[in-house]
Structure 1
Amino acid sequence: MNETLSALDPSLRAMLLEELTSGNIDRANQLSVKPGQEKFVLPVTYSLIVTPFSPMTSWQRVAVVDDQVVGFIHANLDPNAAVDEYRACIWRIYVDAAVQGQGVGSFMIHAFSEVAAGAGLDRITVMWEPGLDSPGEAFHRIGFTDIGRTEYGEIIGALASS
């Protein structure tokens, strides 16, 4: 068993990552969040519309356990991006409320980190809005460190690629 899977809650060890498709986007749209987190998330289909998107650089996956979507990640992988923070950047990540804190987010982030390392990138980044119930604490637990702020005041975090 690989190291990432061994850290998961035992009930989630059969988790798989699948590309986001028309066959699973409805299930991704049904992901729920904990009270207070609503202000930090958008429905998956809406976030796809408002997030910078290029089919050539977009990395979109759903985490699936027993045919149930338990998480979604939308990242950008573009080693040639003009802005360093956007080269391997997580734009959106959602973990269903029922499985938060059980390793789903970490699993998706580390999978993206491995892809970024394979593309020759030494780190991945994520941006989040600070505040009560923001995802910042979860990102810090996974290993992200704050490296700056966007022009809009969002925190930029970085994690070394694995």
Structure 2
Amino acid sequence: MSAPPQLQKITPDNVEAACGLAVRADQERFVSPVSWSLAEAYAQPEVAWPRLIVAGDEIVGFLMGFFDIVWDPDRPDDRRSGLWRLNIAADHQGKGYGRFAVEAVCAEVRRRGQDRAVTTWEPGADGPERFYLRLGFRPTGETSGGQTVGARLLADA
């Protein structure tokens, strides 16, 4: 990382640049574009937490957390929080920004009093599973929309 990363809210001044963020072409099948994520955040503002990842003056990624959602309508007490979306710009991958994003979401989950973060990933040989496993997520045995559900226990919640 050249400049230390920071999170930044999406604003009218940066939304166009945010929507222009692109992952590598071979990763496009694994993650929705930022514009789609922002539409989902607009439709569910009570749970969505969209943020840009910036280093210096440059947008290097996008994340969207979710907080306190009912995961299974048949189990209303099963409320979860975690990482909903992660897009790191193609030319900024491998620089630690993805790890920063995951840790930022986990810190926010802890700040909100929960002791477990959840995420999902598309299965596949070139998918992000190894990344999430390295960061402490473990498959729960569940799937969501065909994606693997992973959970990470958080210390000091």
Q: How many residues align?
A: 150
2:124 paired with 1:131: yes
Bigger mean CA offset, 49-58 vs 62-71: 49-58
Cα–Cα, structure 1 residues 85 and 132, in superposed 2: closer, same or farther, change >3 Å?
farther
For the Cα contact (< 8 Å) 2:66–2:83, is it kept in 1?
yes
For the Cα contact (< 8 Å) 1:124–1:159, is it kept in 2?
yes
Bigger mean CA offset, 43-52 vs 91-100: 43-52
2:33 paired with 1:40: no
- 3-state DSSP of counterpart to 1:134: coil
2:81 paired with 1:93: no
Residue identity (%): 35
Cα–Cα, structure 1 residues 51 and 146, in superposed 2: closer, same or farther, change >3 Å?
farther
Deviation string, structure 1 residues 32-56 (Cα, Å, up to 9, x no partner): 2223111112221123335794222
What does 1:97-116 align with in structure 2 at a 5 Å threshold? Answer: 97-116=90-109
- 3-state DSSP of counterpart to 2:102: helix
For the Cα contact (< 8 Å) 1:27–1:68, is it kept in 2?
no
CA separation in 2, counterparts of 1:49 and 1:127? 19
Q: Which ranges in structure 2 are unaligned for 5 or more consecutive residues?
A: 72-76
For the Cα contact (< 8 Å) 2:82–2:106, is it kept in 1?
no
- 3-state DSSP of counterpart to 2:70: coil
Q: Which position in structure 1 is the counterpart of 2:46?
A: 56
Q: Which position in structure 1 is the counterpart of 2:74?
A: none
TM (normalized to structure 1)? 0.81
- 3-state DSSP of counterpart to 2:94: coil
2:151 paired with 1:161: no
Q: Which position in structure 1 is the counterpart of 2:63?
A: 73
Q: Which ranges in structure 1 are unaligned for 5 or more consecutive residues?
A: 1-8
- Relative to its length, the structure with more strand (as a share) is 2
CA separation in 2, counterparts of 1:131 and 1:67? 34
Cα–Cα, structure 1 residues 74 and 122, in superposed 2: closer, same or farther, change >3 Å?
same
For the Cα contact (< 8 Å) 2:41–2:49, is it kept in 1?
no
Cα–Cα, structure 1 residues 151 and 54, in superposed 2: closer, same or farther, change >3 Å?
closer
TM (normalized to structure 2)? 0.83
